[in-house]
Amino acid sequence: MIHFKKVKDLQNYLETEKGKGKKIGFVPTMGALHEGHISLAKTCKTENDICLSSIFVNPTQFNDPLDFEKYPADLERDINLLEGVGCDILFIPGVSEIYPEFFRPEKIPIGRLENLLEGKSRPGHFQGVCMVVKRLLEIVQPHQLYLGQKDLQQCMVIRNLVAWMGMKEKIHIVISPTIREPDGLAMSSRNLRLNDIERKRAPSIFQTLLFIKNNFRVVDLDILKKDAATRLTKNGFRVDYVEIARASDLESVRHWDGKEPLVALIAAYNNDVRLIDNLFLN
């Protein structure tokens, strides 16, 4: 695996490879890698000539500075995991490479998604995500971009960003399924921060999503959302949101028409650690 720290060096390399007709797949991450990230890299490796991953803990997407400070990091371990799946290139830029002096942030028109769910709970988060993803996409200009369904709203925001950048025809977005621990807990870098007691109760988020999936046809969805939130509270969580929404745009749904594809989404605090997950219902 070749490592690049400088934008220019990476771009020179990619230009040569693209000139040879090589197809580039890109897996952006913030490090602290787990099987979820690695599954994206594996798929990327099989579907492209070159699998490129980046590790950059983006300060602009953390609305909570403590969350940024506590973000786990183990670069050596990350490198081993990526090498294990044959990742070809690792881009590990410093903050001044991504946000150099000439960089001028611009407000991205995210639309309704900016203020729903994650956007509502984490003001500024999606502008920060768009800022870094736009910059990374301009640098890498990949043929395919690999994202995880675990962050469904982020996938939708990035899809809108790519369209707004006029790169919809150039960059194909691949959304990979959420990889889970054997007990159902969605893999997340944040899981590293759970103590034994918190880790034991963590799977109840996925169990609650399954409870919604098993019951959404028969009741008023507002009642179901309340029941689901109560289950989480009883299991020791502080619920941020439990939502049942249209899969197409994440708008809340109260009465299902029997056809519309739906998704259930949960964000809840396990003491200090905020966990999110989602599940398509039909």
| Active site amino acids | 37
Question: Strand pairing of 2-4 and 89-91?
Answer: parallel
For residue 125, the one-letter residue type is H
Sign of CA dihedral 58, 247, 147, 18: negative
What is the rounded distance in angstroms from the CA atom of residue 37 to the CA atom of residue 144? 15
Our CB check for ligand AMP shows the closer of 163 and 223 to be 163
As a whole number of angstroms, the distance between CA 154 and CA 118 comes to: 9
Structure tokens at 16: 């040569």
Which residues contact ligand AMP by CB under 6 A?
29-30, 36-37, 39-40, 147-148, 150-151, 176, 178-179, 186-189
Residue 188 or 208 with smaller CB distance to ligand AMP: 188
Q: Which is nearer to ligand AMP, 49 or 67 (CB)?
A: 67
Enumerate residues 6+ apart whose C-beta is below 8 A from 15: none
Contact 33, 77 (CB under 8 A): yes
Cβ proximity to ligand AMP, 8 vs 77, nearer residue: 77
